[in-house]
Structure 1
Amino acid sequence: MSGASVCCIREPVVIGPRRIVCLTEEPTEVLYALGEQDRIVGISGFTVRPPRARKEKPRVSAFTSAKIDAILALQPDMAIGFSDIQADIAQALIRAGVEVWISNHRSVAGILDYIRRLGALVGAGDAAGLYAHRAAAHVDAVRAAAAALPRHPRVYFEEWDDPIITGIQWVAELLRIAGGVDVFPELATQPLAKNRILADAGEVVRRDPQIIFGSWCGKRFRPEQVAARPGWDMLGAVRARQVFEIKSPIILQPGPAALFDGLDALHAHIRAWAPRDD
């Protein structure tokens, strides 16, 4: 038709995977925070952040196991998980033709970089950069507040009770940022849990922490069980009733939760301890 013009309406370009299965909690939290939750088709059964994720997405994995058939039925174009512990899950999915990204970061800096990398993967690099910047600013603010405390307690963090396993690197870093002094700094840099096992529980007694934090992944932390260990009744933390649970979803997953709620929980207890005279 003379004088007529034809307008071409283009569909928005979608960058990166469109159907993602999150095998752990942190990719789910990050993708929701970036507004990219529609890409998620399946999540870990341990996911609690954000709460709506459990209502909106099917749960298809634990940490050391996964429902491979259920995952494949979702027709994912990528699965995202964490650590060598998920190697068998990753292998099964790769053999079935699914692209898999297993991150293995272990530090606070690694968590911030993870946010940026995941954002870039789904075409949300700018939003991820802003989110990482906000997290880093929060960490710096807590660090500054902690530096102003009058005292800094010796702190023991327990990740598991049988065998006794001390805290992983990002947890130890957050302890220091929150104002505490990690009593097992030499173990914190060990990436594998088996290398953070305490062969001698008496070593905790010798280092005499003034605060004990526990986060037993997948089960409730029991301060009374800790206090009942041989010789542990003499610990400063036990005598002063400074034994606290930090919920595992906010401290043992290497994602935003640890940098916000996990760090805040650690700092709140340390800040409350600092003015004490015992």
Structure 2
Amino acid sequence: MPSPASRRRHGPQRIVCLTEEPTEVLYLLGEQQRIVGISGFTVRPPEARRDKPRVSAFTSAKIDRILALQPDLAIGFSDMQADIAAGLIRAGVEVWISNHRSVAGILDYVRRLGALVDAADAAARLADTLSARIERVRAAAAALPRRPRVYFEEWDSPQISAIRWVSELVGIAGGDDVFPQRATASLARERIVADPAEVIAAAPELIIGSWCGKKFRPEQVAARPGWHAVPAVRDGELHEIKSPLILQPGPAALTDGLDRLHDIVQAWSRRHGT
């Protein structure tokens, strides 16, 4: 019987990952040898940034450099990468643009990507491990004495509230998103909080910032007109989660991102739960 190393590898052999999550998944599956190019925003795992050429941002890419890598598949995410995808398709590259927006969608994405690279069994095990971890956090959160109202901000100008998987993770971690109706919208513009007074009215007890690509500035948030009345501002409960941990719809969000959320909620509960 042939060894795993000697068996024929099916599926795409030269993959360009236009976002972070396919890179992380492929490394976790032990299929990193298929990757020939990555997003410049990639930080997980560190060796990917060290070993793989960076060929794209999020809304732009070096098409000529990608083509020079002779990819047989490019993997991206969402309508935001439609122009990159179109350029690659016109050049004859096969492209998969996923558009998963929920925790369940992330788990299914892991399974689908695994199947695509002939690693369906390993991907199923990874998805099951991630799911079990989520349930452990959910069970721990159920024991908290109080659930805080949470405003999660993923951009500051304009103010954009949590995308769906982040909103769901807030709930799993033990909090309640103050704008759950916005989280179901698929486009970022539909999650814009055009009137900051809405946040004041929602009275969040925790504000969590994850400004994609730049440092969260709690002092700037606290200085917004009228926000001194917001419980989270009054109590100094403004916290940051780095965007690579929570704003990419892959394993990072379900592991380190969720853990950080739960730590913040748990600490709030210790201070305010009695």
Compute the TM-score of the two structures, normalised by the length of structure 2: 0.97
Percent identity, please: 71
Residue in 1 that maps onto 2:27: 32
Gaps of 5+ in 2: 1-5
Distance 2:64 2:56 in 1: 11
2:80 maps to 1:85:
yes
2:18 maps to 1:23:
yes
Residue in 2 that maps onto 1:47: 42
* Helix, strand or coil at the partner of 2:125: helix
* Helix, strand or coil at the partner of 1:149: coil
**Match for residue 201 of structure 2 among 188, 192, 206:** 206
Residue in 2 that maps onto 1:217: 212
The Cα RMSD (Å) is 0.8
* Helix, strand or coil at the partner of 1:274: helix
* Helix, strand or coil at the partner of 1:213: strand
Query: Which amino acid is 2:170 matched to?
Result: L
CA deviations 1:91-125 (Å, max 9, x no partner) are 00000000000000000000000000000000000
Once the two structures are TM-superposed, the CA of residue 233 in structure 1 deviates from its matched residue by 1.4
Residue in 2 that maps onto 1:120: 115
Once the two structures are TM-superposed, the CA of residue 44 in structure 1 deviates from its matched residue by 0.2
Once the two structures are TM-superposed, the CA of residue 193 in structure 1 deviates from its matched residue by 0.3
Query: Which amino acid is 1:74 matched to?
Result: L
Residue in 2 that maps onto 1:154: 149
Which of structures 1 and 2 has the bigger CA Rg? 1
* Helix, strand or coil at the partner of 2:228: helix
**Match for residue 167 of structure 2 among 167, 172, 187:** 172
* Helix, strand or coil at the partner of 2:114: helix
Cα separation, partners in 2 of 1:277 and 1:49, compared to 1, 3 Å: closer
Query: Which amino acid is 1:213 matched to?
Result: I
Once the two structures are TM-superposed, the CA of residue 23 in structure 1 deviates from its matched residue by 0.1
CA deviations 1:129-171 (Å, max 9, x no partner) are 0000000000000000001100100000001111111010000
* Helix, strand or coil at the partner of 1:176: helix
Residue in 2 that maps onto 1:110: 105
* Helix, strand or coil at the partner of 1:53: helix
* Helix, strand or coil at the partner of 1:244: strand
Once the two structures are TM-superposed, the CA of residue 241 in structure 1 deviates from its matched residue by 1.0
* Helix, strand or coil at the partner of 1:81: strand
Query: Which amino acid is 2:39 matched to?
Result: S
Residue in 1 that maps onto 2:177: 182
Query: Which amino acid is 2:10 matched to?
Result: I
Say if 1:151 and 1:275, in contact at 8 Å, map to a contact too.
no
Once the two structures are TM-superposed, the CA of residue 275 in structure 1 deviates from its matched residue by 2.3
Residue in 2 that maps onto 1:234: 229
Distance 2:142 2:230 in 1: 25
Distance 1:141 1:271 in 2: 14
Compute the TM-score of the two structures, normalised by the length of structure 1: 0.95
2:89 maps to 1:76:
no
Say if 1:25 and 1:47, in contact at 8 Å, map to a contact too.
yes
Once the two structures are TM-superposed, the CA of residue 234 in structure 1 deviates from its matched residue by 1.6
Residue in 2 that maps onto 1:101: 96
Residue in 1 that maps onto 2:265: 270
Residue in 1 that maps onto 2:133: 138
Once the two structures are TM-superposed, the CA of residue 277 in structure 1 deviates from its matched residue by 3.6
